[in-house]
Amino acid sequence: MLLTKQEQSMYDGELGEAAQQSMEILAALGAIYGAEKTIPVTSAQIAGVSYKTIGDAGLEYLQDLASKGAKTLVPSFLNPAGMDREQWREMKIPEDFAKKQIAILDAYSSMGIMKTCTCAPYFIGIRPKKGEHVAWSESSAIAFANSVLGARTNREGGPSALAAAICGVTPYYGLHIDENRVAEVVIDVRCELKTMADFGALGSAVGKLAKNRYPAFRGIKRASESMLKVLGASMAATGSVPLFFIEGITPEWSIAEDAQRIEFTEADLSASRKGLDSGLKPDLVTIGCPHASLEEIKEVAELVSKRKPTCEFWVCTSAKLRKEADRLGYGKAIEAAGGFVVADTCMVVCPLEEMGHVVTGTNSGKAAAYLPNLCKQKVAFGDLEDILYR
């Protein structure tokens, strides 16, 4: 891969050990994927934040990099951590876990990375424009950035996004190149999608079919950004889909001539919904995978104000939107109904299985895919009215 003068200086160690280590990672990736050059990025979104997922080895790696003077060159921000930074005691997070989590956040912060701790940065104003190159690493955020915003990012891992943040560039291959942004499977949606759970179930089914191909949807008449976020997250969880198109909705639409065509019917939707649901009553309902938008928080607040849910429930979001929800009175309404607006973390990356929960409710296809394996949970999947009052 061709390096600029500055990149070569980084690679040769003239700009410090941290920059050298980071440039080596990018050069190795460039060699693997056949990139001819790098491309500057305008932001980096960095996964690998929860102590639950990166453990002591991850913490040591970050502290080592920080001790070598690592500093970011572009605006960079974090994925959710393993706990709410303010209310971790109320969440009953073990003390030792909290100590390690704080050390991880401190290491990132010392490199100049913003502690946004959200997988939906686009809901807090971080919205790269169409055609803008970024290095994002959370699978649902990647899908949203590419598909809904029209930005360009590959599926970065935590370390490669961090390396891009430190060097300000990423190898130019894959989804950074316009010609590669072509759908290879067309999904004709022949049913009405009304709720978040419908979009989650569609995403869950299509992710399995598409695997790592990019799907293009026809027949979706209406979709809010919250619904698009759930669709992309669910496909990224059951498949590895970093880009999708929806006719008339997403900013790009490009289909290969020999694309496979698949119909998605009412019966497919119903089968997908049933396949995700254990049918059990949840002891905890978690809303916000990916992190809830203000619109979703409002919807929950209005629903639970009318009738108190029959189980504990969380709404997971960013600290910034929690503040906004508090200001608008949604936080109070949720708490009055026995709920908890959880910031900075989520049901999957916090140590849920250590908190005594067995059946967790969700309307997200991604959470439904991850909760059984990563959190040893049985899943109650459905619309809010169903899971909150089952």
CB-wise, 20 or 360, nearer to ligand F3S? Answer: 360
In contact, 186 and 261? CB cutoff 8 Å: yes
Asked if 290 touches ligand F3S (CB under 6 A), the answer is yes
Sole binder of ligand F3S in the list 35, 233, 343, 384 (CB under 6 A): 233
Sole binder of ligand F3S in the list 366, 377, 382, 390 (CB under 6 A): 366
Q: Min. distance of Cβ 139 from ligand F3S in angstroms?
A: 7
Q: Min. distance of Cβ 312 from ligand F3S in angstroms?
A: 17
Asked if 80 touches ligand F3S (CB under 6 A), the answer is yes
Asked if 349 touches ligand F3S (CB under 6 A), the answer is yes
CB-wise, 216 or 289, nearer to ligand F3S? Answer: 289
Sole binder of ligand F3S in the list 74, 348, 352, 368 (CB under 6 A): 348
Write the binding mask 131 to 170 for ligand F3S: x where contact by CB under 6 A, - elsewhere. ---------x------------------------------
CB-wise, 133 or 366, nearer to ligand F3S? Answer: 366
Choose one: 94-102, 277-285, 288-296, 351-359; the region binding ligand F3S (CB under 6 A): 288-296
Sole binder of ligand F3S in the list 25, 26, 65, 316 (CB under 6 A): 316
Q: How far apart are CA 121 and CA 255, in angstroms?
A: 28
| Rounded (5°) CA angle 134-136-137 | 160
Asked if 285 touches ligand F3S (CB under 6 A), the answer is no
Asked if 291 touches ligand F3S (CB under 6 A), the answer is yes
In contact, 219 and 269? CB cutoff 8 Å: no
Q: How far apart are CA 80 and CA 327, in angstroms?
A: 22
Could you count the other beta carbons within 10 Å of the beta carbon of residue 288?
29
DSSP secondary structure of 122-184: GGGT--PPTT-B-EE-SHHHHHHHHHTS--B-----HHHHHHHHHHSEEE--GGGSGGG--EE
Nearest to 341 by CA among 354, 324, 360: 324
Q: How far apart are CA 26 and CA 11, in angstroms?
A: 10
Q: Min. distance of Cβ 200 from ligand F3S in angstroms?
A: 11
Asked if 228 touches ligand F3S (CB under 6 A), the answer is no
The answer for residues whose C-beta is within 8 angstroms of residue 28's C-beta and 6 or more apart is none
Q: Order of strands, edge to edge, in the sheet holding 378-381?
A: 339-343, 312-317, 284-287, 359-362, 378-381
Asked if 3 touches ligand F3S (CB under 6 A), the answer is no
Asked if 346 touches ligand F3S (CB under 6 A), the answer is yes
Q: How far apart are CA 167 and CA 33, in angstroms?
A: 18
CB-wise, 23 or 91, nearer to ligand F3S? Answer: 91
Sole binder of ligand F3S in the list 46, 78, 104, 119 (CB under 6 A): 119
Asked if 381 touches ligand F3S (CB under 6 A), the answer is no
Report how many residues bind ligand F3S under the rule CB under 6 A.
15
| Rounded (5°) CA angle 195-316-249 | 40
H/E/C letters for each residue in 37-75? CEEECCCEEECCCCHHHHHHHHHHHHHHHHHCCCCCCCC
Residue 5: exposure state from Cβ atoms within 10 A (0-12, 13-18, ≥19): exposed
Asked if 255 touches ligand F3S (CB under 6 A), the answer is no
Asked if 370 touches ligand F3S (CB under 6 A), the answer is yes
Asked if 52 touches ligand F3S (CB under 6 A), the answer is no
Q: Residues interacting with ligand F3S, by CB under 6 A?
A: 79-80, 119, 140, 233, 289-291, 316, 346, 348-349, 366-367, 370
